[in-house]
Amino acid sequence: MAQGISAAELQALKLRAAELRAEGAGGTGTKEKEREAADCVSLIESLEGLDRQIAELLHRVVKDEAPHLDPQVRDGVPAYAREGTVIVFFQPASQHDSRYGSIGFNDEAFLDDGDFWATSFAVLAVSDKFEAKLRGLVGKAAG
């Protein structure tokens, strides 16, 4: 007659579940993050022209300024998340039939500046000035 599982068996199950998560089998471990990062890079590589230049620059900037953010694809766009919450993303012009792509920051970004601040930036060209501004924004937003 089964009495349920013992405390030792329950502990063993919890340990095994943690191992599986760490291996990516549970969708939250290193392997899952690696897959999401690869998906992000693939999406960036599928872009063309200025959209690709902007996305590649954002990817480099995030790796340099905020390596703790995880690259992924959210809503079909390259995005970078802190503990599962998207902080910064790029909306390509080509995906939204727009004259410009935009880099956006979600409300978990640390950009607060009084009662009013920008959370989205139109990008018409890649330049050293743009890169410097982007580096500052990403570094501040990521915390």
Cα Rg of the chain, angstroms? 19
Within a domain: residue 33? no
pLDDT in the model for residue 49: 97
How high does pLDDT run on average in the chain? 88
Within a domain: residue 16? no
Within a domain: residue 15? no
Q: How many other C-beta atoms are found inside a 10 Å radius of the C-beta of residue 67?
A: 9
Within a domain: residue 103? yes
Within a domain: residue 72? yes
Tens digits of residue pLDDT in 82-128: 999 999 999 999 998 999 999 999 999 999 999 999 999 999 999 99
Within a domain: residue 11? no
CATH code of residue 78: 3.90.1150.200
Within a domain: residue 113? yes
Q: CA-based angle 30:67:105, to the nearest 5?
A: 105
Q: Distance between CA 141 and CA 6 in Å, rounded?
A: 47
Tens digits of residue pLDDT in 32-61: 899 999 999 999 999 999 999 999 999 999
User: Quick one: which H or E segment has residue 7?
Assistant: helix 7-23
Within a domain: residue 91? yes
Tens digits of residue pLDDT in 53-69: 999 999 999 999 999 99
Q: Which of 50, 36, 114 is nearest to 78 (CA)?
A: 36
Please state the domain count of the chain: 1
- The domain in which residue 60 lies consists of 40-142
